[in-house]
């Protein structure tokens, strides 16, 4: 089996690549700018005995036909190196703080051009190639449901991904293809508590488990949803947030 993971050079994408490799997939490791991270992901995948291929692509393409070609080229490169993917994980997405006062059209376009637009394009192109049993996993965020200050365009774009997951599932379900989403909460990483102590403390106080989630926990959920064990799950987005979204609102 083959899986293509976009944005696989970063912390979560790399964890997803490894979890899918452990589950028996060869991994197409997509990256846009972090070649060093992509190489590290390849090392991790091959350490568990699976094949991998580094796939570079910048999908922030203005021309509509050019974006379609870029998506097709990425899928073709994965197929040539490892075989056509049965699982496609759409993880790559920009994230940065934008103050409300700076939220002009150009700031909105950054998220549309760099995140939402490539995700919708690649989902459509990938689903057209998948055979029955194929799976697309869309990485959303809890901020698609409860936005944070300074994250307005990110939150709005992630909310759109939740609806995209539901809509696409009905469009391609008759072909035996599933589309599922995963919405992570705050993901722990080395140094996070030192870099953002107040935020981690607030999060931990609000979450049912008293802590952030780990990248491996989110990745394990992705691997499960991509597996035959989850064959009846489609059109929904699963929250992985240590119970943060279950906290009382008053």
What six digits make up the tokens of 124? 């459509």
d(CA 217, CA 89): 16
3-state secondary structure of 23: coil
Q: To which residue do tokens 């570079």 refer?
A: 56
Q: To which residue do tokens 């391609």 refer?
A: 172
Which of 112, 127, 114 has its CA nearest to residue 72?
127
Q: Collect the ranges in the chain with pLDDT lower than 50.
A: none
What six digits make up the tokens of 17? 């690549």
* Main-chain dihedrals φ then ψ at residue 51, nearest 5 degrees: -80, 160
Count helices and strands in the chain by DSSP H and E runs: 9, 7
Q: Quick check: 235 and 170 in contact, CB under 8 A?
A: yes
Please, which contacts does 38-46 make with residues 24 or more away whose CB atoms are closer than 8 Å? 38/8, 38/9, 40/9, 40/14, 41/8, 41/9, 41/13, 41/14, 41/17, 44/14, 44/17, 44/18, 45/17, 45/18, 45/21
Give, in order, the Cα–Cα distances in Å from 18 to each of 2, 130, 229: 13, 22, 19
pLDDT of residue 42: 96
Give, in order, the Cα–Cα distances in Å from 181 to each of 61, 235, 236: 24, 8, 6
Strand order through the sheet with 26-31? 52-56, 26-31, 2-5, 87-90, 135-139, 178-184, 237-240
Q: Quick check: 122 and 74 in contact, CB under 8 A?
A: yes
pLDDT of residue 188: 93
Q: How far is CA 224 from the centre of its chain?
A: 14
């Amino acid at each position: 089996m083959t899986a293509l993971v976009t944005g696989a050079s970063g912390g979560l994408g790399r964890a997803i690549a490894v979890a899918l490799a452990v589950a028996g997939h060869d991994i197409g490791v997509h990256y846009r700018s972090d070649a060093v991270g992509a190489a590290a992901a390849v090392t991790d995948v091959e350490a568990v005995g699976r094949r991998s291929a580094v796939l570079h692509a910048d999908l922030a393409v203005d021309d509509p036909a050019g974006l379609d070609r870029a998506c097709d080229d990425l899928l073709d490169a994965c197929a040539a190196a490892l075989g056509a993917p049965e699982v496609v994980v759409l993880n790559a997405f920009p994230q940065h703080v934008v103050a409300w006062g700076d939220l002009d059209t150009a700031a909105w376009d950054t998220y549309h051009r760099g995140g939402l637009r490539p995700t919708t394009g690649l989902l459509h192109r990938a689903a057209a190639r998948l055979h029955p049993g194929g799976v697309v996993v869309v990485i959303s965020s809890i901020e698609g449901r409860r936005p944070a200050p300074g994250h307005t365009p990110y939150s709005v774009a992630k909310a759109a991904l939740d609806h995209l997951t539901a809509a696409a599932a009905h469009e391609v379900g008759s072909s035996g293809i599933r589309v599922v989403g995963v919405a992570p909460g705050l993901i722990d990483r080395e140094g996070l508590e030192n870099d953002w102590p107040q935020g981690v403390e607030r999060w931990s106080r609000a979450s049912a488990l008293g802590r952030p989630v780990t990248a491996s926990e989110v990745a394990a959920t992705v691997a499960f949803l991509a597996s035959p064990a989850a064959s009846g799950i489609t059109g929904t987005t699963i929250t992985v947030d240590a119970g943060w979204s279950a906290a009382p609102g008053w």
